[in-house]
Structure 1
Amino acid sequence: MRRSRLTRQLMATTLPLALIVGSGIGIATADPMLARNMSTYGMPGGIDTPTAEAMAEGTLAATVSLSDYALRSNVLFQLTPRLTTAFRYSRIEGINDARNSGSIYDRSFDFRYQLVDEDGWRPAIAIGLQDFLGTGVYSGEYIVATRNITPTIRASAGLGWGTLAGKPRIIDAGDEGGTANVEDWFRGGAAPFASVSWQVSDRLNLQAEYSNDIYRAQYRLNSGALVTQQQGDTEPGRVNLGLTYQMGRSYQLGLYTIGSETIGAQFTVALNPRDAVYPSGLEPAPAPVRPRPARAADPEGWSGQWSQDPTAQPAIQTALSNALAGEGQILQSMALAPTRAEVRIRNTRYVHQAEAVGRTARLMTRALPPSVETFVITLVERGIPVSSVTLRRSDVERLENTEVGQIAQASVLSDAVPYPGDLVRTPGAYQRFTWNLGPYLATSLFDPSDPFRYEVGAEARASYEIVPGLVLSGAIRQRAFGSIDKEAPGGLSPDEYEAQDSDIAGNGVPRVRSDSRMYSGTTSPTIPDLTLAWFARPTDQVYSRVTVGLLERAYGGVSAEALWKPVNSPLAFGAEVNRVRKRDFDGGLGFRDYEVTTGHVSAYYEFGQGYTAQVDVGRYLAGDVGATLSVTREFANGWRVGAYATETDLSAEEFGEGSFDKGLTISIPLAWATGQPSTQRVGGTLRSLSRDGGSRVRTDGLYDRVRDSHATQIYQGWGRFWR
């Protein structure tokens, strides 16, 4: 029975996500065979052919390979011990498009799943999809087996289809790409390939392989004619040779031949979250727990009579506030009774909230009178109390030098009481003004006419917390230099495009993101954002946000959000609505005519082992309606890597090249690289294309702010409680 196009597309988009979830949750597996080097396609392999190897779980790698046939830039992420994913951006020589430049730029995605690992005489076996979401220039599937012949020699053999069989798929010139070619998978005839690698030394590896790739592309034109285009100047031979040299822990340099026709070079950098430069960090050791004196030594302190002195709490609060400031914690308020103390802190230093809680508990043992037995440490974000950790002081004293599991069992994590009446604000905690001045770097990736563009300048950013939860913030930028220039879509000049009365494209779709380059290249100062935001906690489990102003570079208006998230629940629900107007291209305070209301309802679920899934359903900036599915993996040290896909009611033709929005997200804590404690992160989103369909307003969402202080994240980082 022939399946509908919708059914085939749903199968193609849900199969990889099913592999992600199914391969990483609730299944105990041995470590798979680890790769020695990367192929030119950015996956563990030989030179052009795949192997059944994998990288260490969590590895984030990038490779750049260059030959007469192509320039390939690849980003790999080892999502689970067995599932390897890659995004590729290539300049392919010898193939012409409308630009008639003698080359094309192509984007593609790969998945590989290792079915079994090497065990005795049984080899490791993997199955893979190459270029299954792209135009199909590199489209192919494979089944491959890899086995160690000796401790230094490893051999692989497999069957390939499509490009890997020397039978490139026919590409429809009118196809927008971006959809899975399910009907072609494992069809069209297979051919064998093989490779062998020899680990000569700890640094040097040699490879040889038999490949069927003929480096050709076949296009079916709109007229129906079939055109074959040769990549490079000649058709290569079948035998490829290569070597790689390991430089340090993270870098590889490679040289290889494609047949006997050309020599290529490759550079690889591979980072693993478990292999930090400073595994233990460089932060100073915390103050030790101070045991209470015996009752006979301080009878007044143990009796609680000190609480009758009106000067006691101000003095204690000032001393504790100063001590916490040295640990990067802001004591916003405090409630103090003879046997119980609650402190509300904002963590500005540690990527794991558990480390902030542990250091706060230590300092409380040093600052509070002996009668105070119950510690309540409430974490605050943007003026909102997010969660409370309750500890007995005697447990803190008793368990300081034990493993962290014991103090975890002795603690209670609960929803914070929003605004109790006995809290006393710390003097100077509000009307708090912060600012910084420094350089900024903006980049633009994967544009067909110029794959990498940049802009460098200076940025001044400031924030003023007027009262708890009410924050005025903004920034101003001045460009210094760069290659990102103002550029208009549709072949118009920037002046012609700006003079238009409408931001609607010829196909009727509003240009909500495809004219993003119009916001670049401005030589006068610009305002990236300027907002007044009100964060609140209406109930114990509901959070809210209202933001007004210049929300982002391209849009200003009003944004409102509500989030239901119990502290110990893996499930959360949210809703957001935005009324926005498009900003003028000069980055000032003016607006254009385009105005739209967008909104989404969202569901979040934390599966455990670092996996979080998010589904957003609603209306996007171009007025299209649809849904976004995101899956994110977070490691114990704070690395976050994810993927997302958005489908709306825009057709592939209306959306344009790529057919639907999709991409990868990467976020790495700065502390992982520097060893110095910091809450700052580096990273961003890698999109195959920036189009109008599936676009959203960029707002300061509640979920990511709240979840770091809730159960899953707190206990994932609990190993740093005693740091």
Structure 2
Amino acid sequence: MATTLPVALVLGSVSTTAVADPMYSRNMSTFGLPGGIDTPTAETLQDGTLGATVSWSDYGRRSSVVFQALPGLTTVLRYSRVDGINDYRDDGYITDRSLDLRYQVVDEEGWRPAVSIGLQDFLGTGVYSGEYIVATKNVTPSVRVSAGLGWGVLAGEPRTIDIDDEGGTPNIDEWFRGGARPFASVSWQVNDRLNLVAEYSNNDYLARYSNGEVFQQGKEPDSGLNLGAFYRFGQNYEVGAYTIGGNTVGAQFTIALNPREAPYPSGLEKAPAPVRPRPAPSADPEGWSGTWAQDPSAQPAIQTALGEAMSKEGQTLESMALSANRAEVRMRNRRYVSQAEAIGRTARLMTRALPPSVETFVITSTADGIPTSSVTVRRSDVERLENTEAGQIANAAALSDAPAGAPGLVPSEGVYPRFRWSIKPYLTLGVFSAEDGLTYEVGAEGRASYEVAPGVVLTGALRQRAFGNIEHRGPAIPSDPEFCEAYGRCGRGEYFTPEEYEANPALETTPEGVPRVRSDSRMYTGNSDPVIPELTLAWYAKPAPTVYTRVTGGLLERAFGGVSAEVLWKPANSPLALGAEVNRVRKRDFDQLFEFRDYEVTMGHVSAYYEFAQGFTAQLDVGKYLAGDKGATVTLTREFANGWRIGAYATKTDLSAEEFGEGSFDKGVTLSIPLGWATGQATRERVDADVRSLSRDGGAQLNVRDRLYDQVRDSHSVKLYEGWGRFWR
């Protein structure tokens, strides 16, 4: 560093590259977050950025997913192949999952550098475990310097890994302990594309285990000096090459997406119909007088015309109440991610379809046939504010709870019963399995729904596998002498065959007495014959203006069938919601048809939801889970105005870490991206993922479609107004 830093300062002083404000990352480290090469920096990504980095070197292969959860909070979930370490497979490497958190305490301002505090691999087995405090400063417009203190692997003092530890719990007693050593890096932004990095690192790539074994991960570095070059192309991609310790080379690839930077920011949907101002009273005296309302043929004609116009905009006019000066439409949004856009387009069409005397518009949103909220706005405000910012029409409108029924509502013809169907390919991926690596299954799924009446929906799906490497397999054979002797094999990497598992019902309970509700999930995969993942009849109702109910019966998910009942209290103008759910379910047979196994359970939970600023929603579920264990689940989700949702959850129950097994407790990350964000086409279709490292029995929830909270909140205050900027779209 003594020679590299002065040279970089001299060369960088002639560059005219602008300094980022705030201090955003110039490149990603091999650990998948803003940094040098192996060392961290105090940089961040743009708020809300979701990215992935894959790096290769003689020390291993790391696949990381990074999310800038807050402007100062960076999170990383990492899956690594760590070379040079042996386990029961004797492959010369292990696979490891780890989680990092970094918080930027202060950003750069004047003479003050940006400062961050980080925890590296604080929930994994500890191969990469370390903590740090780091500062980063722009010394010229193109040269940036970082220096910090590191503990654990960042100080060249790897933590001792307990071979009996199930993992998944924070090693708090070791944080910022064991001696600290300095690290540093310098980056030179040659131009808008190329960034050169030099750093001093203490990582010697050793792993120490509690049984006394010490492993060298690849070659021992000849020195602490690492050099790298990183090149950005396009808006979202980066490639890099680097040397570690002077004797090892590596490469990496990064992709980063920001929800606020869609490929088609304005969308590709057609422009809405313009607002039609009313004619002067002298030009239409009958329309202004309201005498038209006495004609019994007026409402059917108006309702038919408005319904046809709304259908072209992707909305369904379910019912309508019309008088001389007021009109209420109840509509279902079938096209737009933002409910505000659907409401705005409906308001425009009402100005074109309704006689001039109608001054009050009430637009009531529905979900699954039940009303969720009403937006009331004066027609004159719609006419007056069309070409202003959306905030003005928001101030002029009133949001209220919608009653189940309303005087004068007339159902639209041909809306119920309604049949819909689709046939699409499906792809199932497994990406964080330490045993199997990347797994996949590809096939076709046919799905149909029949809405018998408002709130009554029959839904079913049929799947046919085409190919994949997710095969039928029983759970792992316990490392117990009884099982070793009975099956002639046991321990990690050994599994019951499907035939062995089905032949002995006693195996459907673990040796610790926990029913296998998820750890035998591979028994539900790999079927070459058609399967029925879901077949249900659901009834949705609204017994009070702020109370919603759901009862669903049938084959609820691929592994369980039965009855699920739910009630939700959710005022339209409140960020708080309370709910309760109870389920009586039985385990389905592994062929996923109509037969059941012996295990059944009554489980459920009470829930509290709260919507904070910046799109954050917190959820707390307390109750009983599928395996009969009792505990609580905490979920934190962030949703952006364009529909991106990213969340994390953790469940702790009365099962001990030993009873739960590897991972100690259930946890995971959820991701939901609207398909329209990438294609530019208006659609409510989504790409969803639930990323969890393990599938265990403790804390297992039932997977029921269309739970009430997500169905209702689209048209309620917090989420509705976050997307209100699309009212005039």
Partner residue, 2:589: 584
Tell me whether 1:66 sits opposite 2:56 in the alignment.
Answer: yes
Partner residue, 2:195: 205
**Alignment partners' CA distance in 2, 1:307 and 1:389:** 23
Partner residue, 1:245: 231
Tell me whether 1:262 sits opposite 2:248 in the alignment.
Answer: yes
Partner residue, 2:719: 713
Tell me whether 1:354 sits opposite 2:359 in the alignment.
Answer: no
SS at match of 1:297: coil
Tell me whether 1:82 sits opposite 2:87 in the alignment.
Answer: no
Partner residue, 1:167: 157
What RMSD over aligned residues (CA atoms) do the two structures have, in Å?
A: 1.1
2:378 to 369, 373, 392: 392
634-643 or 410-419, which deviates more: 634-643
Instruction: Could you list the structure 1 runs, at least 4 aligned residues long, displaced by more than 2 angstroms after superposition.
Output: 233-237
Cα contact 1:214–1:236 (8 A) shared by 2: no
**For residues 586-665 of structure 1, what are the structure 2 equivalents within 5 Å?**
586-665=591-670
Cα contact 1:533–1:545 (8 A) shared by 2: yes
Q: Deviations over 1:182-215 (max 9, x none)?
A: 0000000001111111111211111111111111
Cα contact 1:340–1:373 (8 A) shared by 2: yes
SS at match of 1:599: strand
Report the CA distance between 1:99 and its aligned residue.
2.0
Q: Deviations over 1:300-351 (max 9, x none)?
A: 1111111111111111111000000000000011111111110000001000
Partner residue, 2:301: 315
Report the CA distance between 1:235 and its aligned residue.
4.4
Report the CA distance between 1:116 and its aligned residue.
1.0
**Alignment partners' CA distance in 1, 2:219 and 2:21:** 43
Identity %: 69
Report the CA distance between 1:31 and its aligned residue.
5.9
Paired residue type of 2:670: T
Partner residue, 2:449: 463
TM-score by length of 2: 0.94
Cα contact 2:627–2:698 (8 A) shared by 1: yes
Cα contact 2:221–2:244 (8 A) shared by 1: no
1:478 to 448, 464, 467: 464
**Alignment partners' CA distance in 2, 1:263 and 1:487:** 39
Partner residue, 1:147: 137
Tell me whether 1:415 sits opposite 2:407 in the alignment.
Answer: no
Report the CA distance between 1:236 and its aligned residue.
5.1
**For residues 9-20 of structure 1, what are the structure 2 equivalents within 5 Å?**
none
Partner residue, 1:291: 277
Partner residue, 2:483: none
Cα contact 1:215–1:236 (8 A) shared by 2: no
**Alignment partners' CA distance in 2, 1:101 and 1:582:** 37
**Alignment partners' CA distance in 2, 1:691 and 1:439:** 28
Report the CA distance between 1:474 and its aligned residue.
0.8
**Alignment partners' CA distance in 1, 2:260 and 2:225:** 37
2:531 to 522, 526, 529: 526
2:503 to 499, 506, 510: 499
Partner residue, 2:11: none
**For residues 441-456 of structure 1, what are the structure 2 equivalents within 5 Å?**
441-456=427-442
SS at match of 1:708: helix
Paired residue type of 1:599: G
Assess, with a 3 A threshold, how the Cα gap between structure 1 residues 201 and 135 changes in structure 2: closer, same or farther.
same
Structure 1 unaligned spans of 5+: 1-29
**Alignment partners' CA distance in 1, 2:404 and 2:391:** 28
**Alignment partners' CA distance in 1, 2:595 and 2:527:** 15
SS at match of 1:464: strand
Cα contact 2:204–2:220 (8 A) shared by 1: no
Q: Deviations over 1:91-149 (max 9, x none)?
A: 11111122222211111111101111111221111110001111111110000011112
Partner residue, 2:485: none
SS at match of 2:414: coil
555-564 or 487-496, which deviates more: 487-496
Partner residue, 1:371: 357
Report the CA distance between 1:404 and its aligned residue.
1.1
Report the CA distance between 1:256 and its aligned residue.
1.0
**Alignment partners' CA distance in 1, 2:597 and 2:221:** 53
Tell me whether 1:332 sits opposite 2:318 in the alignment.
Answer: yes
Partner residue, 2:91: 101
Report the CA distance between 1:421 and its aligned residue.
4.1
**Alignment partners' CA distance in 2, 1:236 and 1:633:** 44
Cα contact 2:44–2:71 (8 A) shared by 1: yes
Assess, with a 3 A threshold, how the Cα gap between structure 1 residues 690 and 312 changes in structure 2: closer, same or farther.
same
1:697 to 692, 696, 702: 702
**Alignment partners' CA distance in 1, 2:223 and 2:528:** 52
Q: Deviations over 1:387-442 (max 9, x none)?
A: 00001111111111111111111100000011124211111111100001111111
SS at match of 1:296: coil
Paired residue type of 1:125: V
Assess, with a 3 A threshold, how the Cα gap between structure 1 residues 504 and 236 changes in structure 2: closer, same or farther.
farther
Equivalent pairs, count:
690
Q: Deviations over 1:661-702 (max 9, x none)?
A: 111111111111111111111131111221111110011211
Structure 2 unaligned spans of 5+: 1-19, 478-494
